[in-house]
Amino acid sequence: MLTFGRSRVLSRCRLGLVASACLGWAALPIAAQEADRFYVGAGLGAADYESVYEGVAYADTPLGAHLYGGVQIRDRVAVELALTNLADIESGDILGSGIERLRISADYRAIAFKGMFSVALADVAPRWRKWTVFGTAGGYASEESRHVVELVSAQTSDDVTDDSGLVFGAGAIYRFSRLSVRAALESFDGRHADHTAIEVAVEFRF
């Protein structure tokens, strides 16, 4: 369970969340008469992850699961909620303070609320009618659970760090009837941790 709360967790992402929410509520009545406006998706991705523990930077390239759901509020505009889980983040042996060496294992979870703007290529190139390109922007809050081993002193510790920030992305969707394949590149810019992820997902509309 993510432990969001406290204004410090929401400070960086409040602008993105409010903007996306206002956009959604303003246009929702228009979408009420449209079919196939809801969608859900699930997929996998690889992330270039960087974080900091007591001033010591570490990085890894973990695989992660990606779940999302959204509502199409206008022809080209949607809002969506997305969950990201990056497991088995491993720093390897890194230099801490003095002669101490650290080994950090972590799990990372984030929840994001985003606005999405899409353009169907059929509008400009009929032969590409099954393709749609899109961009996303919003805010997120995250939690990183760490297990730290001090190799020289043989001490261990565990901690949980909350973070927040802005998320931006771009990608493409190949549509079948009610099933689509979606590929995206997203960048999460937080106060304590950053990561850029390449994700592929299967999406259903209803």
Q: Report phi then psi at 72, rounded to 5.
A: -85, 110
Q: Which domains does the chain have, with CATH numbers?
A: 6-205 (2.40.160.20)
Q: Are 102 and 129 in contact (CB under 8 A)?
A: no
Q: What is the pLDDT of residue 34?
A: 53
pTM for this entry: 0.81
Burial class of 103 by CB neighbour count within 10 A (0 to 12, 13 to 18, 19+): middle
Token readout for 90 is: 């491993």
What's the rounded Cα separation, in Å, for the pair 9 and 3? 10
pLDDT of residue 35: 58
Q: What pLDDT shows up at residue 127?
A: 85
Q: What are phi and psi of 17, to 5 degrees?
A: -65, -45
Res 10: pLDDT = 42
- Comparing C-alpha atoms, which of 62, 27, 12 is closest to residue 163? 12
- Give the separation between CA 184 and CA 173, rounded to whole angstroms: 9
pLDDT of the chain along its 206 residues, tens only? 444 444 444 444 444 544 444 444 444 444 434 557 999 999 999 999 999 999 999 999 999 999 999 999 998 999 999 999 999 999 999 999 889 999 999 999 999 999 999 999 987 888 888 999 999 999 999 999 999 999 999 999 999 999 999 999 999 999 998 799 999 999 999 999 999 999 999 999 98
